[in-house]
Amino acid sequence: MAGRRRVSGFSVVALCLLLVALVGCGGRTATDRSSTDVQRVLDRRAAAVLAHDAAAYARTGTATGFGNLSAIPLAAWSYRVRGVERSGDTATADVELRYRVRGYDRGPVSAGRTVRLSRDGTAGTWTVDSDRPAKESGQQPWDQGAVRVVRGTHSLVLGVGQSTTALRRFADLADRAVPAVSDAWDAWDGDWSRRVVVVVPRSLEGMAGLLGSPASSYRGIAAVTTGETGGREHAPADRIIVNPDAYGLLGSLGKQVVLTHETTHVATRADTTSATPLWLSEGYADWVGYRGSGRTAAQAAPELAGAVAEGRAPARLPTDEDFGFTADAEALARAYEGGWLACRMIAEQWGEDRLDAFYRSVGTHDDRAGAVEAALHEVLGTTPDDFTARWRSYLRTRLG
């Protein structure tokens, strides 16, 4: 037929052989095979972790770090290979680690890891040379050393470089925090686990390593809570991470307020979404933290009290930018105090149940725009302008 050439059978065979050499004629690429082989060795490694089998773990490669996590009660531990870069008998794998702590995590914690491997040329098997946090991913506690575990009635405390006595004190504080939060939040809906995991690293630098951020970002911050916002299905596992340097400077009341504040974030996580402004999420957590403490508004909000006394009362509620950890310390304190007093005002003037309902109502919206306005109207029967005016008057009355 004109315009077409007949390809001989020999040419077809030759072409297929060439493709086999390059990508595998109709089969898997070399990269696919490497990914499968790496996944296989990591599956064996995960099984060894869950079985607490040090010998089986060592057969998959380096045993460094195995003893660091042996005390953690794990319900699940798995790896998923997302990509492999191979060079001869060495490879670097981009891996997602997923694990759950038994009795505390409803869903898995996910962490990016970079795993380097080498292959035995004779046996053709891969073994792990190193397993480290991926770039821009935070460390896990066992990356920093042996993890010591203390169990409380409502808490599990994981510590690195901390004594059992010190960790027991954190467990006691957390065990008091959980019922306090339940008493406030459960007045409307009891849907949270009533258990918390507290992580206490050796120092501020250790905290920063766990969060994957510079230490300067958290200097002076006593604790933070990690977790995914965005609705109930995205809130499986939270961690309260302590900065022992800043936390150690607090008095007994301050330490309890901080743990109760962070525990509140755990309890409210499923109802905290991108629609929730920080003045509400942080203010509510402070409201629960100080609830029942007997502290007056002026005692708990000294920076804002000073501003009001000097005629510098804020004209608006704090914005999310006001809560930046790198902000001026006094301005940051005023932002937290302003959010707390807004929630305190709602609890006093509308009732605690309405405050809980308002918080949840804001979180049900898909977007930030209009969320607070709608909740103010639907739950509190007011407008943003009226609410702000009442809040400014409340500041002058309580702090003046």
- What is the CATH number for 158? 3.30.2010.30
* Confidence tier at 190 by pLDDT (50, 70, 90): low
Domain contains 18 = no
- The pLDDT value given to residue 23: 40
Confidence check: pLDDT of 56 > 50: yes
In terms of average pLDDT, the best of 13-17, 123-127, 168-172, 193-197 is: 168-172
Kindly state whether residues 83 and 46 are assigned to the same domain.
yes
- The pLDDT value given to residue 188: 55
Kindly state whether residues 163 and 99 are assigned to the same domain.
no
* Cβ–Cβ < 8 Å for 240, 259: yes
- The pLDDT value given to residue 178: 97
Instruction: Report the chain's mean pLDDT, rounded to a whole number.
Output: 90
Q: What percent of the chain has pLDDT over 70?
A: 88
DSSP letter string over 73-129?
Answer: -EEEEEEEEEEEEEETTEEEEEEEEEEEETTT-SS-EEEEEEEEEEE-TTT--EEEE
Q: Of the residues 116, 136, 156, which one is the last residue of a structural domain?
A: 136
Comparing 315 with 11, the larger pLDDT belongs to 315
* Cβ–Cβ < 8 Å for 78, 99: yes
Residue 109's CATH number: 3.10.450.50
Q: Identify the sign of the CA torsion 138, 270, 196, 332.
A: positive
Kindly state whether residues 253 and 312 are assigned to the same domain.
no
> Left, alpha or beta for 161 (phi > 0: left; psi -120 to 50: alpha)?
left
Residue with tokens 């990690």: 226
* Confidence tier at 228 by pLDDT (50, 70, 90): low
- The pLDDT value given to residue 2: 43
* Confidence tier at 217 by pLDDT (50, 70, 90): confident
Q: How many domains does the chain have?
A: 3
Kindly state whether residues 95 and 151 are assigned to the same domain.
no
Please calculate the CA angle 46-51-55 and round it to the nearest 5 degrees.
85
* Cβ–Cβ < 8 Å for 50, 69: no
* Digit-coded pLDDT (tens) for 265-313: 999 998 999 999 999 999 999 999 999 999 999 999 999 999 999 999 9
Q: Residue 147: give the domain boundaries.
A: 138-271
State both tokens at 223. Answer: 């604790």
Q: Of the residues 86, 113, 136, which one is the last residue of a structural domain?
A: 136
* Cβ–Cβ < 8 Å for 96, 46: no
Domain contains 181 = yes
Kindly state whether residues 130 and 119 are assigned to the same domain.
yes
Residues 208 and 189: their CA atoms lie apart, in Å, by 34
DSSP summary character for residue 61:
B
Tell me the average pLDDT across 4-29: 39
- The pLDDT value given to residue 230: 52
* Digit-coded pLDDT (tens) for 200-211: 999 999 999 999
Please calculate the CA angle 357-363-366 and round it to the nearest 5 degrees.
140
How many other CB atoms are found less than 10 A from the CB of residue 316? 12
pTM value?
0.88
